[in-house]
Every structure is written in structure tokens, then in C-alpha cells.
Structure 1
Amino acid sequence: MAAQQSFAIASIPGDGIGGEVIDAGLQVLDAVAELSGGALEFRVTEFPWSSAYYREHGRYIPEGGLEELRRHDAIYFGAVGSPEVPDHVSLWGLRLAITQPFDQWANIRPVTFLPGVTSPLRKADDVELDWIVVRENSEGEYAGLGGRNLSGRGPGEEVAVQTSLHTEKGCERIIRFAFDLARTRQVAKVSSVTKSNAQQHGMVLWDEVFARVKEDYPDVETERVLVDAMSAKFVLHPEQLSVVVASNLHADILSDLGSALAGSLGIAASANLNPERRFPSMFEPVHGSAPDITGRGIANPIGAIASAALMLDHLGLPAEADAVRAAIEATTASGILPLDLGGQADTRQLTQAIVEALRNSWTEAPAEGPDQSSAPPATAEAGS
């Protein structure tokens, strides 16, 4: 009998530990499909695009590759980065070569403090901390505008120009996205991050758009914070945060800081969203390819599995997404932790423990399992 709901997933393991953690996430998706009793099916197609593929073919994505991806409901991405290829070549050759043409303009990075995980923040011991970084993902400092010239003048004379692009449309859509997300959270607050005292053009435009948009959300608390002050706030007053919205570069840095404060980059999940759904969205852990531990079987799969939960949210399966997140929490709370969180579990053991926790919680749920009929909220893509 055919599944009630079938989803086409494009898997791009990429480089380094990407294949190891994506495999772990797919095992969890397989368990979700099995536990649904045939209601769900995830049809996975793997694309071997990686730095090894680049070295063999001279490009990361073959001709017509994006059109192939576009036929899928979502993209599950591992990592890109190799010692054999310069980082700017690999990033622009694969990840940004997908996010930009697919206009995945909203990047969501939850900062999640898991039970059983020791945070370097003393405040995390007695204060509930949970916030989301919303990253403008299409322009800003990663717009790719600029160039290098004048090398003919001789050694030491070359000039490089990197232009940050901020458009009113780009600012408004990500800021509205952040406000809509804040309305779905227990604390309805948006913190806008810029460096407008020094960057008096693009960042001031951002501030002006934020001031205009917030008038449409009188029920949402707001604040404007300079990026250096927000870095300090992440450490000193994280309990004041709910939704943090920032430009491409600022949010990239802040979200890594948030994940480190939660315990490790290995637990950090993200979603690259095209909210209009004209293109498939892409879900990835943010820890990178980690070539130093590739092949050792010790990679932390939690970030990839949590990214799969964000993908389930986006596919309209919020109950299943919550079940996966609960399985992660049950596993860490029981003391089963990977090496980067101070534990002893390898990738396989941790994945098996999460799958087992998922099975146990599913068994204890009502006979029909997670609610298949519940519609996701308007901002379900954010995985709030």
C-alpha cells in the first residue's frame, strides 16, 4: 500500500564527516517512516557532489544539477570543505551555489541547551535558555560583490574590494520573518543586530526598515543592539533573548557563539529556507566538514538529526519533528553523550540511542502515533 504522504529528499553528504552525520539523520527518518505505520515515506536520492567530485570534474554541481534538485521537496546537506580545495572555492562552488539561486533567504539557527549537557555558561545551570538566530541568507556581506585588481603594479600593490549589499526588500522580508516567528514563541521579542554606528549606509537602512516594520507588530517586544554588545549579551544576559535577527555575517558569527555556549557546534542545526516555497529548502548541521576526525566514527550526529527535525517541520510534520527533538533530549538526559560533549558514545552508538528513544516515546504515545492531521503554523519552517 502506498504511503499517505511521500516526500522526495535530495541528500548531499558532501565532504568530511558530512556523510557520517547525514547517514545518522537518514536512519532517524527511516525510523519515523517505520513508526508511522506506512503513513509516511521519505524517498532519498543521494547526490555525490563534494570536493572529490570537484577535483575530478572541475565543478561541484554538474550541468543541470540545480534542476534535478528542484524536483525534490527538501535538500539534506552534510558539509563542504576540504584541505585540497580553498575554502572560498568550495563554499561558493556548492553551498552558496544552492542557497543563492534557490533564494533561500531565511537561515534559521536555534540555540538549544540540551539536558545532560554541561554549558560553559554558569547561568545555564539555573535559568532556562532558548533562543533562535534568524540570519539574512541572500545578501549582506556574502553577496559576492567586489573583486581584485591592480596586481600588475607589482608585489604588495594589489587591491581587493568586498562590497556588502543591503536592499530594502532583503531587509524587510527577513525582519518580518523574525517578527512572525517571535509571535509563535513563549516570549514574543525580536532583537535586531547591526553595526550601524560604523556602517552608516547598509546598516542604517536595516535600522530604518526595522523601525518601520515593528509598527506592524505592537504585540512583539523589540530592541536594537550593536553586534559587539550582542556578543557580550549572549554571554552575560542570554535569558533576555528570544529571536535575534541579523545580517548574513553577523548572524553567522553569533549563531556559532550561541552553539558553543550551548555546549558544542556539533549540536547546532540550521535551515536554509525559501519561505515562498518556489524552490526546495535545505537543512544542514553547521559544524563543517571536520577533516581532522573524518572516518574515525566519532562525529557528533545531533546537529544533523536536529536539522532533520527542522526539515520535518518544513514538510508539515510538526508532531514528528517534536518527537525527534524529544528523543535527542531523552538521550542526552540519560547521559549518552558524544566525545565533544564529554561523553564516550561514538556516532553509531549515539544514533542508535536516539532511534531507540524515538521508538520508546512513540510506543508510549496514543495508538495512532503523532498527529498526522495537525497543520503546521504559518512559521513552521523555523522549527520553533
Structure 2
Amino acid sequence: MVMVMGSPSMKGLVASLTTFSILRVCLIISAAAGGPAKMVRLVPAMYVFGDSTLDVGNNNYLPGPNVPRANMPLNGADFPGGARATGRFSNGYHVADFTAIKLGLKESPPAYLSLAPRPTALLLSALATGVNYASAGAGILDSTNAGNNIPLSRQVRYMESTKAAMEASVGKAATRVLLSRSFFLFNIGNNDLSVFAAAQPAGDVATLYASLVSGYSAAITDLYAMGARKFGIINVGLLGCVPTVRVLSATGACNDGLNLLSAGFNDALRSLLAGLAARLPGLDYSLADSYNLTQVTFANPAASGYVSIDSACCGSGRLGAESDCLPNSTTCADHDRFVFWDRGHPSQRAGELTAAAFFDGAAGFTAPISFDRLARKV
């Protein structure tokens, strides 16, 4: 549909959107309950919060020379529909896209900053598929890589303004119903821990965890107050085993200290979510265990078709980890056989397998329920 702001059809569009939003939610409820309606889509929309593991191009719209961006070839070399850099730190899709596909969407919703200058486009995306607020380099803490990303707190504020626009168009009741049925995907904390570990001298770990848990709690609580009820949370993976960390070791070994730091945060996150679910009526969540999934994958990479678990497919130098993925970088022959696309991010194949594991909940990689069961809850 093409529409010009201020046209006579605006009022009719708003009215139809209101009816459409409520009808869609009713159909979803009916399908989940085993009614006659058969819906391919499991949720009305998906809203995404996090860092470079979920970013679909928000950072392309941020000013400054130090903003991390994936806006050059060879990023997007295998992007579905044709090679093109999309702002994803991947050779194609990543875990947000594959999660969206599992939920019945085409791919991850668009980047918020790509929509924000066009209020009508933002509104239609928010109502029809959702919005992606994730930003490369972002942390739970505002101080993490400050000035070069959209921190979690601001991502939530952007969601708040999006919700206000939705309410102005389709009303508070329809907006609340839509948000309560939508999927809220998170993956954040990686950068906070990495920055902390790199600091000299290192700070107090207990204080760090407390600050991160407080920030995470505030984000989820604020979104809950807006009407969100379904939270798919991906924990922090084996940060000590990414190529950019391994290359610092003469033997290419993982940094056990950084992995222990990640594991400690994951324990705190698990406790936080259990506490929030007990305190906030109707809040449902699925905690996806990226840490354990990575351990299992690394223990038997051939089972997933990998030939490399320690090197970047796109990069340069030892382990392909001495530079970012640049237009003149060397790439591996088979992109699907490397866990890592660049020195800090998974390949498209890794994103696909990760989303499948979390959606199905196989081998206990999600708790207390899978992404699939979370999406289908009514």
C-alpha cells in the first residue's frame, strides 16, 4: 500500500488498522487454541533489542568515525536475494532473521533508524511486523562504548515512542493486545563484559553484575509496563572463544577468565528472569542458552558440518582475526563450514542453527520453555 501523509485516506487507514490489529490477534488466539483458523504467523510482530548480534543496520544511521558498521562488502555476501551489505555483521541473515522466519515473518523487522524519519513507515512496520532497535557495540550500561551506539536504555525509549505512535493511530486497547501477543527478542551484555574484561585495572565483578542486572531489569520492567509479555532472552555466549580473543593467545586458546565472567553473568540473568516472572503477572520468557550451545558445538563441530570453530571466514592474519571483514579481506572457501563469519560474529549458518535450537528447545537449550512454546502462549 502506498499512501501520502495527510491524504483523505488517512482516517480510513487508521480505522482499518484498528480493526485489522484486533482481528489478527483474535485469529492468533483462535489458532493457538486449536480453532478453525490456521495461521502461519505465530505472533503479530517481533521487537528486537540488543547489540551487533541482532543489529540489522541501525548503526548505519549513527554519526561518527568510531561507530561500528557492517555496511561494506564482503558483509552480506550470501544475503538472500542477492549479495549486499545490509548492516548485519554476517555474510547473510543472522539469528534475529532466522528467529523471525520461525515465527512466520519474512526476516527481522527493519531497523528503527531506517524508519524513524518516515513516521507512516514506522507506524506500519510496528503494527504489521515489528521494529528492530538493536545496535552494534551497545551494552546494558549507557557507558559501554558510549557515543558510538544506541544503548539498551535508549532502545527502550525508542520503543516507548513507537508505542505512543501506535496508540495514537489504533488506540490503546488494540496496541496493548498486539504488544501482549508479540515476541520481544533480546541479546545483550556481550559488550559490557568485554569492555570490563579489557579494562586495566579491572573493576569489581560483583558491582558489575549488580549494575547489569539492574539495567536489564529496568528494560524488561519498562517494556512490561508498555504491554510486552513474551520475552525471548539469549544469554551471553563463550566470549573467551571468539577469534578476536583467541588471537591474543600464542596457542589460539580460549580465554577461560572471560568465559567464567560470562557464565557468572548468565547465572545472574537466570535468577533475574525467574524473579521477574514471579513478580509480574502474565510475564512469560524463554531463556536461550547460547553459552551451552556453543560448548556443545565446539565439542563436536563436525556434527553441525563445521571445519573451523576458531577462525574468522572473512578477515586477515592469524585466525583471520587481525582485522575486521573488509572489501579486500580473504574469505574462506565455504562460508557455511565456519562458525564465525568475522572475528567477532557468527556466520549465517551458525545463526540458522542457533535459531533452530532455541526455537525447538532441543537438548535443553532453552528454559523454562522454547521460543516456539513462548510464541504460542495465549
| TM-score w.r.t. length of structure 1 | 0.29
Decide which structure has greater strand share: 1
By percentage of residues, which structure has more helix? 2
